[in-house]
Amino acid sequence: MQDLTDLYQSVILDHNRRPRNYSVLPTANRVGSGNNPMCGDQMTVYVKLEGDRIADLSFQGSGCAISKASTSLMTVNLKGKTIAEAEAIYAGVHKLVTTGTVAEDDMSDLAALAGVHQFPARIKCATLGWHAALNAAKGDAQPVTTEKPSD
Amino acid sequence: MNAAWKNIRADFPILDQQVNGHPLVYLDNAATTQKPQCVIDALTNYYRKDNANVHRGIHTLSMRATSAYEAARERAAKFLNAAEPGEIIFTAGTTDGINLVANAWGDENLKPGDVILLTEMEHHSNMVPWQLLARRTGAKLRYLPIVAGDTGLLDLTQLDKVLTPDVKIFAFIHVSNTLGVINPAAELCAAAKKVGALTLVDAAQSTGHLPLDVRTMGCDFLAVSGHKMCGPTGVGLLYGRKALLDAMPPYRGGGSMISSVEYFESKWAPAPAKFEAGTPNIADVIALARAMDYLDDLGREAIAQHDEKLAAVAYARLQAEVPGIRVLGPAHHRSGVVSFDLKGVHAHDVVTMADQEGVALRGGHHCNQPLMKKLGLSSTSRASFYLYNTEAEIDRLVATLQKISKFFAG
């Protein structure tokens, strides 16, 4: 049996209870939305892009502890990063939540998401906000969904 | 309760297992029910002894398969109290049955301006086929609302206002999969008849859970899923009044549904064969008939009482013993479905944590996104009881939810 504290680490619980950057960003010039039709979760991510740099970002929406905490952690970690840097960080997060292994760099508080890999049904929760943010930053206006459009 | 109830848990081999180190407490019966050994045996015996294609064969196995398949139709007609076996069409499930009516009956009979009446508590399966039909024909959708608050009951004071003579069909769910409400089906069918509207009842959550008789109910169509009443997955029933079925064009073309075929035109077989194109789901149909025997041995009235009692106990105990819980649906006269919202804890987190305690729940929008929106929720957690569940399992449910609530309150 997996230990639930692996999934719900204190960092996750804290970001779920007090999500950071949880607001509408008035200066945003990009908005991305993600939804999970299987559970009804919905996240809207606001991005202020300056050149190819994410100058600021925030989010709002409804979701489980994993999706909320992961998106909250994302806003903290992507602020000030270029799109290329943001994509590299997400690659590390994706590896982390699917395999449980940390990429070579120090992932700091993002490492709290490692437990997700033991719960395959929850991986989509952890990646929802990231897809929405990266798509918005890259100028893809399509809302992202955890399911294929034909589903 | 009769003797058939005595060793009921032993009838379901799947229940006897550990999940994540705890004895399984299976409370996801509104999604699918477990299968008794006799149904599993019916499936394996068919494949071991009788498997052959039906209706065309002259050889012994084919005749055996055909007679078991048609006996299942008679059994189903008796189970629903249909006037004759020809009123029973075997389908893939409730969704398939509703789509059959929406296509075969709907395309032929609806025109722009006609109204399809639904209720606000419909499952997506009794909403989307009608949306597609409305798009094809120009007919309009209209909804009978539910009352404000958490009971989820239909607002019957609005019935006369929405059930007007331009309504051609009134399709409604008998028992809500989300809130456990039991709708007054006979009353709704009678009201529809008065304005000349047909009725389709989504009986996925009610057939096999409570006494059901299509002639007393007075419905025109009734759709059923086998897997929600101890039968196999991928099989269901559609009841339709014979005169309606006879007048309807086919839904899908193929073998078995024709009386004669020429290169440019064909003639249809009479119902029900007209609606069963291709080789049917023989094994599952036969096993579903066995499930009906099993349920009738227990008694459907007794099953309904058992479910209602467990739901009432769960409703009261969750409300009283779990901090921050909001239990949805009516407090009385309900099915075995109990949905709830745990304050500050998302349904996904509730279900993941309960699973770690061996308790199988469901969390999400339960295929009813508009209803969730109306309740001001994006999702709920749901415990749903069936004939093999016990009060001791409610103890486990309560203890688990208390633990979850405490964990997140931290």
Question: In this predicted structure, what is the pLDDT of residue A147?
Answer: 62
Same-domain check for residues B237 and B326: no
With a cut of 50, which residues of chain B have pLDDT below it?
none
Antiparallel, parallel or unpaired: β B258-261 and B266-268: antiparallel
Same-domain check for residues B198 and B255: yes
- Determine whether the interchain pair A13/B352 forms a contact, defined as Cβ–Cβ distance below 8 Å: no
Q: Is the pLDDT of residue A149 over 60?
A: no
Same-domain check for residues B63 and B111: yes
Asked if the structure places residue A143 within a domain, the reply is no
Domain that holds residue A32: 4-136
Asked if the structure places residue A129 within a domain, the reply is yes
d(CA B191, CA B161) in angstroms, rounded, equals 12
Determine the residue among A1, A12, A145 to mutate to test chain B binding: the one whose Cβ has the most chain B Cβ atoms within 10 Å: A1
Question: In this predicted structure, what is the pLDDT of residue A104?
Answer: 61
Q: Which of B189, B219, B230, B367 is catalytic?
A: B367
Query: End-to-end distance of chain B based on CA atoms, in angstroms?
Result: 44
B128 close contact with A: CB closer than 8 A:
no
Same-domain check for residues B215 and B242: yes
Q: Which residues of B touch A8 (CB under 8 A)?
A: 349, 353, 407
DSSP notation for A63-126: --HHHHHHHHHHHHHHTT-BHHHHHHHHHHHHHHHHH-PPPSS--GGGGGGGGGGG-GGGHHHH
d(CA B25, CA A49) in angstroms, rounded, equals 50
Degrees (nearest 5) of the Cα angle B68, B206, B346? Answer: 125
d(CA A139, CA B2) in angstroms, rounded, equals 67
Domain that holds residue B186: 41-297
Domain of B404, CATH number, reads: 3.90.1150.10
> From the list A62, A119, A122, which residue is nearest B378 (CB)?
A62
Asked if the structure places residue A123 within a domain, the reply is yes
Q: How far is A40 from chain B (nearest CA, A)?
A: 6
Q: How many independent structural domains does chain A possess?
A: 1
Same-domain check for residues B226 and B100: yes
Q: How many independent structural domains does chain B possess?
A: 2
- Of the three residues B275, B297, B319, the one that is the final residue of a domain is B297
Same-domain check for residues B99 and B131: yes
- Determine whether the interchain pair A7/B407 forms a contact, defined as Cβ–Cβ distance below 8 Å: no
Asked if the structure places residue B238 within a domain, the reply is yes
How many angstroms from the chain centroid is the CA of residue A81? 15
- Determine whether the interchain pair B347/A4 forms a contact, defined as Cβ–Cβ distance below 8 Å: no
- Of the three residues B245, B280, B297, the one that is the final residue of a domain is B297
Q: Is the pLDDT of residue A6 over 80?
A: no
> From the list B352, B365, B407, which residue is nearest A122 (CB)?
B352
Asked if the structure places residue A30 within a domain, the reply is yes
d(CA B339, CA B179) in angstroms, rounded, equals 6
Same-domain check for residues B343 and B320: yes
Asked if the structure places residue B35 within a domain, the reply is no
Asked if the structure places residue B59 within a domain, the reply is yes
| Averaged pLDDT for residues A34-50 | 86
Q: How far is B395 from chain A (nearest CA, A)?
A: 21
CA proximity to A51, closest of A137, A134, A132: A137
DSSP notation for B160-184: HHH--TTEEEEEEESB-TTT-BB--
CA closest to B357 among chain A residues: A1
Inter-chain contacts counted by CB atoms under 8 A, chains A and B: 56
Same-domain check for residues B291 and B309: no
Query: Among the residues of B81-172, which ranges form H helices?
Result: 94-100, 106-109, 128-137, 159-162
Q: Which residues of A touch B410 (CB under 8 A)?
A: 13, 17
Same-domain check for residues B273 and B358: no
B408 close contact with A: CB closer than 8 A:
yes
Same-domain check for residues B48 and B176: yes
Q: Which residues of B touch A38 (CB under 8 A)?
A: 364
B17 close contact with A: CB closer than 8 A:
no
Q: Is the pLDDT of residue A148 over 60?
A: no
| Averaged pLDDT for residues A54-77 | 94
Above 0.85 for ipTM, yes or no?
Answer: no
How many angstroms from the chain centroid is the CA of residue B135? 26
Asked if the structure places residue B327 within a domain, the reply is yes
Asked if the structure places residue A145 within a domain, the reply is no
CB A15 within 8 A of CB A129: no
CA proximity to B201, closest of B222, B217, B185, B181: B222
Question: In this predicted structure, what is the pLDDT of residue A140?
Answer: 64
Q: Which residues of A touch B352 (CB under 8 A)?
A: 4, 7, 119, 121-122
CB B180 within 8 A of CB B338: yes
Same-domain check for residues B155 and B16: no
Helix (H) or strand (E) holding B191: helix B185-194
Determine the residue among A38, A44, A64, A146 to mutate to test chain B binding: the one whose Cβ has the most chain B Cβ atoms within 10 Å: A64
A62 close contact with B: CB closer than 8 A:
yes
Same-domain check for residues B261 and B308: no
Q: Which residues of B touch A63 (CB under 8 A)?
A: 346, 378
Q: Is the pLDDT of residue A150 over 50?
A: no
d(CA B394, CA B245) in angstroms, rounded, equals 44
Domain of B121, CATH number, reads: 3.40.640.10
Helix (H) or strand (E) holding B216: helix B214-217
For residue B364, what are its two tokens?
């999400």
Residue B367 among the catalytic residues:
yes
d(CA B108, CA A108) in angstroms, rounded, equals 64
Domain of A13, CATH number, reads: 3.90.1010.10
How many angstroms from the chain centroid is the CA of residue B158? 26
